[in-house]
Amino acid sequence: MKISGKRVVVTGAASGIGKALSCAFNEAGAKSVVCVDINLEGAQATADLINGLAVRANVAKESDIINVIQKANEFSGGIDIFCSNAGIGGVPGFFEAKTEDWQQIWEINVQSHIHAAKHVLPQMLEREEGYLVNTSSAAGLLTQLGAAGYAVTKSAAVSFAEWIKITYGNKGIGVSCLCPQAVRTAMTAGGAGVAGVDGMLEPEVVADDVLKAIEAETFLVLPHKEVAEYIMRKGNDRDRWIAGMQRLQTQFEDFLMPGSEKE
């Protein structure tokens, strides 16, 4: 899909990848960009940079997503590209996470994508054109050592994006799933840990890769190119790959344990 002249919505737009995406779409000639975040002040700051519209939303709430789509329709007359980018790291570990912690990370990292697709796809299907960008993580393709909630929800996010592409890809709907490792955002301000093994990327680099993927209609967006090789290894011999990850788990055990001195 060509980006020039398109109407775009970006969630998580107050900072990090979301802010970089909003600016990149504007620079690429998008007709409009709606900047969405639970932090309205941050969303407004991003919108002010690009003459966009700021909308406050808790993406875990379906009613908030519906409101975002309504506001975007009023502002731009429709939505061509919806970037469901907002996400959280959640509570690390496994036993440390309470039931409500699992519910929260599930609602933000998975249900937000589902709500967006459910309510924006009808207008796209009617036009027989539209594009969804769902931000997951390399953790969704591999795993996240030391964080069960993050690993599980990011995997589900990849699976949902894939399902949408399979189901509606022949009806004019493009889908890209963003799966980076460490990116310099608020989430990695305290360090990226094991996820930073292949280096920390700037949000602007990631945003550029996303726009290229939309233009080429590429499903997986892998800013860290090493991830493609890891996926191949995992697919070729799952047991061998798991054994390797177990060794990495042991190597970083002290770092991964919540509350440890190295954390």
| Beta carbons of 62 and 115 less than 8 angstroms apart | yes
CB atoms within 10 A of CB 63: 10
Q: How far is Cα 11 from Cα 109, in angstroms, rounded to an integer?
A: 12
Check pLDDT > 90 for residue 49. yes
**pLDDT tens digits for 2-22?**
999 999 999 999 999 999 999
CA 81 and chain centroid, separation: 14
Q: How far is Cα 263 from Cα 256, in angstroms, rounded to an integer?
A: 7
Candidates 131, 150, 168, 230; catalytic one? 150
Mean pLDDT of 29-49: 98
In a domain, 151, yes or no: yes
Q: How far is Cα 226 from Cα 235, in angstroms, rounded to an integer?
A: 15
Specify the pTM. 0.91
150 is catalytic: yes
Amino acid (one-letter) located at 149: G
In a domain, 253, yes or no: no
Number of domains in the chain: 1
Q: How far is Cα 120 from Cα 79, in angstroms, rounded to an integer?
A: 8
In a domain, 239, yes or no: no
Q: What is the band of 79 on the pLDDT scale with cuts at 50, 70, 90?
A: very high
In a domain, 99, yes or no: yes
CB atoms within 10 A of CB 14: 25
In a domain, 261, yes or no: no
Mean pLDDT of 196-222: 91
The phi and psi torsions of 43 (rounded to 5 degrees) equal -65, -40
What pLDDT is recorded for position 262?
Answer: 30
Q: How far is Cα 184 from Cα 254, in angstroms, rounded to an integer?
A: 23
| Beta carbons of 168 and 123 less than 8 angstroms apart | no
CATH no. for residue 194?
A: 3.40.50.720
Mean pLDDT of 43-51: 98
| Beta carbons of 90 and 149 less than 8 angstroms apart | yes
In a domain, 233, yes or no: no
Q: What is the band of 190 on the pLDDT scale with cuts at 50, 70, 90?
A: low
Between vectors from CA 99 to CA 96 and to CA 105, what angle results, nearest 5°? Answer: 85
In a domain, 16, yes or no: yes
In a domain, 211, yes or no: yes
Question: What's the Cα-to-Cα distance from 259 to each of 2, 68, 69, 189, 211, rounded to whole Å?
Answer: 47, 38, 41, 18, 39
Domain hosting 192: range is 7-227
**pLDDT tens digits for 223-256?**
999 999 999 999 999 999 999 999 989 888 766 6
CA 168 and chain centroid, separation: 20
